[in-house]
Chains A and B, each alone.
Chain A
Amino acid sequence: MIKSKSKNKIVFKNARIIDPCTGFDDLGGLVTEDKVIKDFGKNLFKDHTPDDALIIDCQNHILCPGFIDLNANIGEPGEEFKENINTASDAALASGITSIVCMPNTNPVIDQIPIIQYIEKRARETNGVKIYPAASITKNLEGKQLTEMGLLLEAGAILFSEANKVISNTKVMKQALTYAKNFNATIMISPQDPDLSKNGVMNGGALANKLGLPGIPKVAEIIQIERDIRLLESTGSKLHFFNITTNEAIIAIENAKKKGLNLTCSTAPHYFTLDETAVDEWRTFAKVFPPLRNKKDKKAIYDALIKDKIDIISSHHSPQDQDSKRLPFEQAEFGIIGFETLLPISLDLHINGKMKIIKLIDKLTNQPAKLLNLNTGKIAINSPADLTLIDIKTSNVLNLENMNSKSNNSLFDEYEAKGKILCTIVDGRIVYTDQKFNL
């Protein structure tokens, strides 16, 4: 319920404010002014509210930092027919996401300063979700020659990644880690051994054999992780594995963390919600890279999140248009859209997995902010007013028709889940309100 007064001052009252950064979780009020959080607290606005502010009665719903998505494909530049920055921004904001890292496997690849500048320009024009481009580690993602990491960082690259690829040449990977250390830059890898996963289209094993499809064995992920951990150990750099899908990978990462390596990891909701049986009879919407694994691995990822062995949940948003999916399974593109199902699907960890809600929000906000060194993802005085108001009580049926993404390759159509975004604020501006909430 919003009472309008002034746009640059917003008061949230009767909110359950959750800030994983400080562990704050209490009913109270919060006020933003211009682009920042001005004040917040248990007793703030309990008795009176300022006259010059826009008042939002949060009805005891959760007000938390806006989500930070580590792994998104937004179609630009090169695949604007699948998604563009406008539609990606709309979809992200409707999902409570206020910052995204976009992957460098665009066309052209994000390996030069002008591409970074182009994305930043488009993001400014769109004026919605904050977009942080990830640059590629090697030129044109070829795994041979390093990109100009220092210059790219200056231009605005947030980290370095080869998107769905890895650097197959061990020497080049070692150099990348070593060189990135000069700038304290993060390297982010989706680990799958390229030789073992070559031509593979789904999880290797009995089901792939039954369907006559070439598989990507689990060992492809584990081998890559173990190699890169060795390299990390010898270089002392900063590494993040994303899209973790197997139990053995978690064990390897856990052991490396115990050694004190600067290593973190993340996964996406479909890897702990769906398994390979979603492929059913060559259902191309279930074709993702890395592939959906078996039930045991799905459970292992779920449990690892609850036991805090996986640091971050990202959307792995990969929009694909109809023509890229309406093909024989082997020819169809990999990918599933993930923004608008990120919270509803992840919320199962809290509802059925007994994960504390503050812990879940931590994995969507504070942890990625720490990894990216961003001054957001927290509720603190004078930090950017990137916030989202969420209802975790009411059940909703997810509906593809209502989604904002330009593509509709989701496996969660008609999925019943809680976790509705009521309102999203970026830099002190209301950029999204749910139809039913905006009374």
Chain B
Amino acid sequence: MHALDKWIKENALSRKIFANKLKISVASLSRYLAGNRIPKQSIMEKIVFHTDGKVNPSNFYIIKNNNTVSFNKYKNDHLLGIENLKEDEISSLLNRADEIIKENRLEPSSNQKYRGKTLVNLFFEDSTRTKTSFELAAKRLGIDVINMQIETSSIRKGESLLDTAMTLNAMQPDILVIRHSLSGTPHLLANKVNCAVINAGDGQHEHPTQALLDALAIRRRKNRLEGLKIAICGDIAHSRVARSNIKLLITMGATVNLIAPSTLMAEGLSDYGANIYNNFKEGLSNVDIVMILRLQRERMQGSYIPSAKEYFKFYGLDREKLNFAKNDALVMHPGPINRGVEIDSELADDINRTLILEQVELGVAIRMSVIEHLLYNLELKK
């Protein structure tokens, strides 16, 4: 029962009488109580006033969160990858993120619903933006966050990995966010722990929340994913971001062109339905979105590419190459940027053409959405 309903009952009133006090219709009040709408500022103030603060704004946001319509499409206990996710599951994660953005921009809410829940950030690999983004997402939901930065030296040994996980598991966290330099590690842990596991990047395998936030950024600008033509350019072979993006975008009905020098292209990705190109001119033809991948510094030496200079000449994005794409094509990059290597510095700063900062901002919303979905499923399991 809604807290306000309870208050009305306890004070021997009826919805009709209380609606009169607020000078609104019973129907409007019913909509608030059903969680279909949140009272606007002036009405909210009246509710707090008439109930002596017993009922406050957070009660209404809880109801909103309890609105499970968008949650029940996502069936998994974990988010380990985009692989095997269905279209409606992805949509559910994106839709909720859109809702969160709307709510956040209305006003910051002090959420009570997830009080006492714990999220552990278990990062075996350096990360600034992803870790911070998860931390911020959890804190906005009122979830306690524990950051575990595992020292670089013990990653190499690795033998304590399962022991670490079991120790954490014994502390009964609700969500475990893991990043590891070895592919499949989140899956290994997910089999051993009782909490929900979110893959925050594993080796060269997947980085699902990055793909989700990229999709959200595209959808918000272009209003759709289906039918769009998206080019992913750069170090495809070693990129987990590329793998997750390819799967997600193709599942959502977009066309994906992969552009990379052949030493940085991975075999088998055409199995997912992506088109393979070795040069920008053909690969960018008629595309709506150009997604640039980061080129790891260690790849610039050795046998993958001869030099950063040559790479930029043929595979770095500048305005000239961008002209091959549609006139309104937008540029994305998962960050951090190697200016002058994979993207022209001045182009990277052009807010009319790039979504780079927006991507970071949307990361928090998408991670909140993922956390909420997983907590919802965790409740159901109990």
Inside 8 A of A210's CB, which chain B residues have their CB? 83, 243, 268, 271
Q: Given A207-B268, A210-B268, A281 and B183 touching (CB < 8 A)? A: no
In the assembled complex, B267 has its CB within 8 A of some CB on chain A: yes
Contact B159 A212 (CB under 8 A): no
In the bound complex, CA of A378 to CA of B151 (Å): 59
Contact A323 B159 (CB under 8 A): yes
Convert B229-257 into 0s and 1s, putting 1 for each residue whose CB lies closer than 8 angstroms to a CB of A.
Answer: 00000000100100100000000000000
In the assembled complex, A282 has its CB within 8 A of some CB on chain B: yes
In the assembled complex, B161 has its CB within 8 A of some CB on chain A: yes
Q: In terms of DSSP, what is the predominant structure of the interface of chain A?
A: loop
Contact B267 A209 (CB under 8 A): yes
In the bound complex, CA of A331 to CA of B204 (Å): 15
Convert A163-192 into 0s and 1s, putting 1 for each residue whose CB lies closer than 8 angstroms to a CB of B.
Answer: 000000000000000000000000000000
Q: Given A212-B203, A281-B187, A330 and B182 touching (CB < 8 A)? A: yes
Q: Given A328-B158, A328-B161, A209 and B268 touching (CB < 8 A)? A: yes
Measured CB to CB, the nearest residue on chain A to B83 is: A210
In the bound complex, CA of A328 to CA of B161 (Å): 9
In the assembled complex, B202 has its CB within 8 A of some CB on chain A: yes
Contact A206 B182 (CB under 8 A): no
Inside 8 A of B240's CB, which chain A residues have their CB? 212
Inside 8 A of A282's CB, which chain B residues have their CB? 183-184, 187-188
Please count how many residues in chain B sit with their CB below 8 Å of the partner chain's CB atoms.
25
In the bound complex, CA of A214 to CA of B161 (Å): 21
Q: Given A323-B159, A328-B158, A206 and B267 touching (CB < 8 A)? A: yes
Inside 8 A of A2's CB, which chain B residues have their CB? none
B324 CB to closest chain A CB, in angstroms? 27
Inside 8 A of B205's CB, which chain A residues have their CB? 211-213
In the bound complex, CA of A391 to CA of B364 (Å): 65
Measured CB to CB, the nearest residue on chain B to A327 is: B158
Inside 8 A of B182's CB, which chain A residues have their CB? 328-331
In the bound complex, CA of A328 to CA of B266 (Å): 22
In the assembled complex, A205 has its CB within 8 A of some CB on chain B: yes
In the assembled complex, A46 has its CB within 8 A of some CB on chain B: no
In the assembled complex, B78 has its CB within 8 A of some CB on chain A: no
Contact A206 B184 (CB under 8 A): no
State which residues 41-74 of A face B: CB under 8 Å: none
In the bound complex, CA of A205 to CA of B267 (Å): 6
In the bound complex, CA of A207 to CA of B240 (Å): 14
In the bound complex, CA of A323 to CA of B183 (Å): 18
In the bound complex, CA of A282 to CA of B180 (Å): 14
Q: A206-B267, A328-B161, A329-B184 are in contact. List 16 more A-B contacts (CB 8 A).
A: A205-B268, A206-B269, A209-B237, A209-B243, A209-B266, A211-B183, A211-B205, A212-B202, A212-B204, A212-B240, A214-B204, A281-B187, A282-B188, A328-B185, A329-B182, A330-B203
